[in-house]
């Protein structure tokens, strides 16, 4: 533990020196808590499935101007048809965010054919898509059933984060469904 504190103190010495009027112990304990938390997440990732946690994903993005991005979203949502339950506040914020940038990136993930997996990845009423959109700061996620893809709109780095989250959820649900399937078949045979 002392070696961790010494290394943290060494790494963040410039910060501590420049902020001399702030309690140095508070700063070191703050960075120590961040370090410990990140180590706990790393251990959890490595223990869960080391082969999946080391696999890198690469995504292809298409750069769109604001008008094209909004036209695509309007097309997919049938001009924000009330059947999709997209709130007017969300719609206004979406349009404002996209219009405030020169370009918007669009990415996609291919999804499995199994509708049960897709339903669980999206969540009831789109709750996992809503949560991922809000937590990552991207603009929009949509499931195109005819192309069997999830489309994502936003800026590059939040988009990468959101796509990684949904991809990991796809893997987790697919794996859960695959392990649950044999036990269901065994019950039916008995």
Instruction: For residues 153 and 72, give the distance between their C-alpha atoms in angstroms, rounded to a whole number.
Output: 10
Class of the CATH-defined domain 62-186: alpha beta
What is the side-by-side order of every strand in the sheet holding 103-110? Answer: 62-65, 103-110, 149-154, 140-144
pLDDT at 183: 56
Residue 62 clears pLDDT 90, i.e. is over it: yes
- Give me the half-sphere count of Cα atoms (radius 13 Å) on the Cβ side of residue 141: 28
Provide mean pLDDT across the span 47-55: 50
Domain ranges of the chain: 2-48, 62-186
Instruction: For residues 2 and 176, give the distance between their C-alpha atoms in angstroms, rounded to a whole number.
Output: 41
Main-chain dihedrals φ then ψ at residue 110, nearest 5 degrees: -75, 140
pTM: 0.68
For the chain, the maximum distance between any two Cα atoms, rounded to a whole number of angstroms, is 72
Bigger pLDDT: 186 vs 140: 140
């Amino acid at each position: 533990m002392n070696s961790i504190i010494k290394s943290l103190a060494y790494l963040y010495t410039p910060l501590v020196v420049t902020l001399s009027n702030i309690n140095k112990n508070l700063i070191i304990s703050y960075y120590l808590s961040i370090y410990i938390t990140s180590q706990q997440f790393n251990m959890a990732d490595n223990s869960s499935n080391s082969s999946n946690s080391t696999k890198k994903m690469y995504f292809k993005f298409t750069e769109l101007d604001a008008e094209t991005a909004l036209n695509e979203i309007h097309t997919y949502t049938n001009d924000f048809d009330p059947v999709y339950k997209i709130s007017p506040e969300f719609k206004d914020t979406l349009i404002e965010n996209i219009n405030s940038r020169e370009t918007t990136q669009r990415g996609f993930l291919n999804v499995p054919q199994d509708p049960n997996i897709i339903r669980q990845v999206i969540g009831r009423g789109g709750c996992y898509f809503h949560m991922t959109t809000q937590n990552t700061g991207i603009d929009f996620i949509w499931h195109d059933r005819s192309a069997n893809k999830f489309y994502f709109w936003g800026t590059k780095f939040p988009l990468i984060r959101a796509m990684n989250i949904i991809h990991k959820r796809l893997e987790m649900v697919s794996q859960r469904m695959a392990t649950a399937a044999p036990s269901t078949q065994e019950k039916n045979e008995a």
